[in-house]
Amino acid sequence: MSWTLMDKCCPKCWHNPPSNPCPKYIECRIKGPLCHDSSECRKLRARRLNELMFGRHGIKVRVALASCTLAVGAADVYYAVQEFVRESGLAVDVDIVGCHGLDFIDPWIEVVKKGLPPAIYANVNPEEVSNIVSSYLSGDVSKAFAIKYRTGTAKGEFLVPTLDELEFWRKQVRLVGRNCGIINPESIEEYVARGGYLGLVRAIKKSPDEVIEEIRLAKLRGRGGAGFPTWIKWKAVKDQVSDVKYVVANAEEGDPSAFSNRLLIESDPFIVIEGMIIAGYVTGANKGYIFVGAEFDLAAERLKKAVEEARKYGLLGDNVLGSGFSFDVEVFQDAGRYTSGEETALLEEIEGKRSSPRVRPPYPVSRGLWGKPTVVNNVETLAHAAVIVREGWDRYATIGAEKSGGTKMVSVSGSVRRPGVYEVPIGTSVKTIIDGLAGGPPEGVKLKAIEVGGPAGGFLPASEMDVPLDYDELLKLGVAMGSGILIAIDEHKCIVDLVRQFMVFFVSESCGKCVPCRVGTREMLEILNRICCGEGGQEDLELLQELGETLKNASFCALGSGAPIPVLSTIRYFREEYLTHIREKRCPADTCPVSREVVRYEG
């Protein structure tokens, strides 16, 4: 293999982890060499950076390979590109890249040639590949979906927008997602070439307390659902006296309709690992686990690869970059259960037990994995931490809402023209995301509600769409931010039926440990089934509310206390729809069994 940016530039480089690591190793990758002066070594770097951009021969085709694109045939596109290269005999590098989060352009490829604007082609099918690439190479970009920047050299260039001219790109603030769809998720080199691991470098030059202070000033709150201030968690673990501590990254992402964590770890696994190392350094933990959802095979594979590479270059292991601090990471793939994402159930599962939540307190910060102090953070939270340390809290805190800094990757689906993952400042209005970024509903369709935060989030009526996407503001309306899910619901959907489907989800995912959730979800489903079948009575609404209050107050963990939120929020905002089912024995959207023959779900 040829020389990569991660390798020693010449025998003068003494970086030799773990026995003799060079503290400047990361900075030296791009700016180097730092300890000696050699134009040869500088040229080596410049040449390699150029290669990463345009390939070894000046032409590169990148194929987006992530679960989302693979689901719509990206693998065939990849083979088609390879075949094209083989048959044409052209010297073209074919590379993989993660995903931008623009679901509606999948599968997509990017073609780059020196001197031409890098062009992104959308909804590519394998048969078109040779046409697309040939016409691009002949200097014609008119068929592209977008180009990255203008060079003024290509034919049809002015028919095609640059990414930044597209509203749904320009209006995003891509902090944690800045590498998604840009770098090869299997190459640590590309991550480092884009400033990766500089956050870690900055962190270990500071004291743990200084880093915690930065995280505090950045107003970072956990992206896993509850929005807990991250600095408090980190400080609590740091202040514990214990020789063993752990950092656990939560990449379970069990919420149906959430896909932003998956996108992040499939497209940029490195940033999560960097965040974990920083968390480890700050809290005094030497071991980290990444808890990956059962369905996320590709993500787990990429994380494992990223861990291996980080070890190889001395970013994990003993004496990280000469700081004296040691840290290692293990990727743990779970058995696939919704409660596994709960922070204590997840610890149980890593310990090899049944993944039911533990009694809290004690919280994981004092008694976590194997009884040791443990930080459990969502992967996106950790990625944000890496960004904050790299960019500085002052820049970060200017983005976002008053009490909650930075951005959130939001998974938008449902009745919108451009479903996908969008990274926006916290506090951006739901309307801006749905209409501005995701393009609003298709022609002729009207939205009636937005489901916010996934199954335990809640429904907002379309009239409340101006609410900022912010933990506190949403709670005021009785819905929760959750993991940043927005599902646009149009008038052809029945709210009661959607709520019922969420309840089916809770019934099957309840771990069965505590009474209110185990039995209460079933009872609530029974009532919802009744209503959808036209057998509901007026008193059923009160019954639902009463049960809902019980689940909210008495459940052991947040699955049970979140389960009634869709019901409660829709009884609040869409009471009429329930009443139509109950009184008029009619489903306004005409989708419920009440207007059809049905199979009843018997709990």
Partner 1 sequence: MRGNVRVRVDGTEVEVDPKSVLLDAIKKAGVAMHSFCQAGEIYRGASCRLCLVELPNGKLVPACAFPVSDGLEVRTRTAKTLRVRRSTLELLLAYHRIECWACMRKGDCVLVKMATDLRLDGIPVCAECPLHPEECLLSKGILCLGPLTLAGCDAECPATSGRCWGCRGPVTREDIVVRALKRYMELGFNIGEVVETAEIFWSAHPFLEKIKLVTRGV
Ligand X SMILES: Cc1cc2nc3c(=O)[nH]c(=O)nc-3n(C[C@H](O)[C@H](O)[C@H](O)COP(=O)(O)O)c2cc1C
Binding site for ligand FES (CB under 6 A): 66, 68, 99, 101-103, 106, 259, 263, 420-421
DSSP secondary structure letters along 215-226: HHHTT-B-TTSS
Q: What share of the chain is helix, strand, coil (3-state, %, to 5)?
A: 45, 15, 40
Report how far residue 388's alpha carbon sits from residue 449's, in angstroms, rounded to the nearest whole number: 34
Q: Which stretch binds ligand X (CB under 6 A): 168-176, 340-348, 523-531, 577-585?
A: 340-348
Show the DSSP H helices in 96-163 as ranges. 129-137
Nearest-approach distance from CB 497 to partner 1, in angstroms: 24
Q: Give whichever of 37 and 597 is closer to ligand SF4, judged by the CB atom.
A: 37
DSSP state of 356: -
| 22 belongs to the binding site for ligand SF4 (CB under 6 A) | yes
Q: Which stretch binds ligand SF4 (CB under 6 A): 19-27, 322-330, 459-467, 584-592?
A: 19-27
Candidate list 557, 568, 582, 587; residue touching ligand X; CB under 6 A:
557
Q: Give whichever of 115 and 512 is closer to ligand SF4, judged by the CB atom.
A: 512
Report how far residue 183's alpha carbon sits from residue 65's, in angstroms, rounded to the nearest whole number: 11
Candidate list 51, 342, 348, 497; residue touching ligand X; CB under 6 A:
342
Q: Which of 581, 589, 602 is nearest to 534 (CA)?
A: 581
Site string for ligand SF4, 137-176 (x = CB under 6 A): ----------------------------------------
DSSP state of 410: E
| 534 belongs to the binding site for partner 1 (CB under 8 A) | no
Report how far residue 296's alpha carbon sits from residue 78's, in angstroms, rounded to the nearest whole number: 20
Candidate list 14, 515, 590, 600; residue touching partner 1; CB under 8 A:
515
Candidate list 17, 32, 548, 566; residue touching ligand SF4; CB under 6 A:
32
CA distances from 85 to 53, 190, 378 (A): 18, 23, 40
Report how far residue 321's alpha carbon sits from residue 313's, in angstroms, rounded to the nearest whole number: 9
Report how far residue 551's alpha carbon sits from residue 293's, in angstroms, rounded to the nearest whole number: 26
Nearest-approach distance from CB 603 to partner 1, in angstroms: 10
- 545-558 in b/e form (b: 16+ CB < 10 A) is eebbebbbeebbbb
Candidate list 15, 29, 223, 500; residue touching ligand X; CB under 6 A:
223
Candidate list 4, 7, 18, 24; residue touching ligand SF4; CB under 6 A:
24
Candidate list 177, 224, 405, 588; residue touching ligand X; CB under 6 A:
224
> At 162, is the secondary structure helix, strand, or coil?
strand
Q: Which stretch binds ligand X (CB under 6 A): 26-34, 39-47, 219-227, 566-574?
A: 219-227
Tokens at 69, concatenated: 């694109």
| 379 belongs to the binding site for ligand SF4 (CB under 6 A) | no
Run of H or E including 381:
helix 379-391
| 404 belongs to the binding site for ligand X (CB under 6 A) | no
Report how far residue 541's alpha carbon sits from residue 582's, in angstroms, rounded to the nearest whole number: 9
Nearest-approach distance from CB 345 to ligand X, in angstroms: 7
Q: Return the amino acid letter for 336.
A: G
Tokens at 421, concatenated: 């993952």
Report how far residue 329's alpha carbon sits from residue 440's, in angstroms, rounded to the nearest whole number: 41
Nearest-approach distance from CB 423 to ligand FES, in angstroms: 12
DSSP state of 477: T
> At 583, is the secondary structure helix, strand, or coil?
helix
Run of H or E including 107:
none
Q: Which of 600, 456, 596 is nearest to 528 (CA)?
A: 600
Report how far residue 185's alpha carbon sits from residue 181's, in angstroms, rounded to the nearest whole number: 9
Site string for ligand SF4, 320-349 (x = CB under 6 A): -------------------x----------
From ligand SF4, ligand FES, ligand X, none, which one binds at residue 226 (CB under 5 to 8 Å depending on kind)?
Answer: ligand X
Q: Are 85 and 94 in contact (CB under 8 A)?
A: yes
Q: Give whichever of 110 and 334 is closer to ligand SF4, judged by the CB atom.
A: 334
| 555 belongs to the binding site for ligand X (CB under 6 A) | no
Q: Give whichever of 257 and 339 is closer to partner 1, judged by the CB atom.
A: 339
| 552 belongs to the binding site for ligand SF4 (CB under 6 A) | no
| 13 belongs to the binding site for ligand SF4 (CB under 6 A) | yes
Binding footprint of partner 1 on the chain (CB under 8 A): 358-359, 361-362, 513-516, 519-520, 523, 546-547, 549-550, 553-556
Binding footprint of ligand SF4 on the chain (CB under 6 A): 9, 13-15, 22, 24-25, 28, 32-35, 339, 356-357, 510-514, 517-518, 555-557, 559-560
Binding footprint of ligand X on the chain (CB under 6 A): 222-226, 228, 250, 252-254, 338-339, 341-343, 376-378, 381, 557-559
